[in-house]
Amino acid sequence: MRNRRRAPGYLCNMGSGPGNRVNRSVRAKSTELGRTAASRGAEFGRTAASRSADIGRLMRQMDVPWARCAPARMLRETILQFGLAPLMDLYTRPRVVGREVFRRLPHPVLFVANHSSHLDTPTILRALPLQWRQRTAVAAAADYFYKKRGIRHVVALTFNTVPLARNGGGVGNGSTAHVDKLIDQRWNLLMFPEGTRSRDGKLHKLRSGAAAIAQQHRIPIVPIYVTGTHDAMPPGRNWPKKRWVLARRHRIDVHFGPPIWPRAGEHRSELMARVRSFFEAEAGIAAPAIPAPAPAQAAERPAAPVV
């Protein structure tokens, strides 16, 4: 008896053959992996959203709203003008450049400054016109200034600070709801995008949180470049340094730049790159030179025959 010729794919079409069992196993594992990845992705999304909500709730609990009421603003102005200002003038000689920018600025704006000393905040506040100073809040590191209740209230009263998490949490998803509310109430906000004081006085990486807030609220960024505060009171000191009584005071300059408006479709990093360009220009840091293309050489003409 002749053997019947098996049709192609015979083994794969057998109901109980090993090939079919392998296929079913592969399909089952693929489905299981897909479900696992989807569940982990959803869990990660829920975890990130929950973390942002927790950060926002904690920031609102740390915030000191009474420090922005009218009596607190009057007391803060008294402390600044009759307490801090005379002390600072014993050690520093401030100079302000660019205050004419406030003649055509709308409320609110986002002030963005470099950061190398605890003197930066009172120096910038003193440089602001009175009507702007009294409507400007200062973003302060929650993990540094808001750990103790007493310090939290003193700092909020003296500088009108609001807590902001330095360890992330996103923008516009609940973690900065207290800041969003202030801006909606036409409060200006001063931010230090480096996240901490520069230890060497040089400009370091700028985080994009300020750009995200400016884009979300469609408000301009006013860059501020401060020099001299690092020499007067670098990180690690709690009081300005002065070698002797008759020594010259430290020269401090505050430069206000023109407003930088977010552009449609612009990425956060591109907006912060424009802010950084202003800082580097004020610091005298030359932009990286782009090599010019080599001039095209003229083609050699064949020598004319000698007649």
The domain in which residue 123 lies consists of 49-283
DSSP state of 290: P
Dist CA 165 CA 179 (whole Å) = 11
Q: pTM of this prediction?
A: 0.76
Residues of the chain under the 50 pLDDT cut: 1, 9-15, 42, 44-45, 289-307
∠263-177-194 over CA atoms, to 5°?
60
Residue 37 lies in a domain: no
Residue 145 lies in a domain: yes
How much is the pLDDT for 21? 62
Pairing of strands 250-256, 136-141: unpaired
Dist CA 117 CA 91 (whole Å) = 14
Assess contact for 124 and 284: CB atoms under 8 A.
no
Residue 39 lies in a domain: no
Cβ neighbours around 42 below 10 Å, total: 10
Residue 303 lies in a domain: no
How much is the pLDDT for 257? 97
Residue 240 lies in a domain: yes
Dist CA 26 CA 44 (whole Å) = 27
Assess contact for 72 and 66: CB atoms under 8 A.
yes
Cβ neighbours around 268 below 10 Å, total: 18
Residue 128 lies in a domain: yes
The structural domain count of the chain equals 1
Dist CA 186 CA 192 (whole Å) = 20
Backbone phi, then psi, for 191, in 5-degree steps? Answer: -130, 150
Residue 307 lies in a domain: no
Assess contact for 152 and 146: CB atoms under 8 A.
yes
Residue 144 lies in a domain: yes
Q: Which residues pair with 113 in a beta bridge?
A: 224
∠228-280-143 over CA atoms, to 5°?
65
How much is the pLDDT for 144? 87
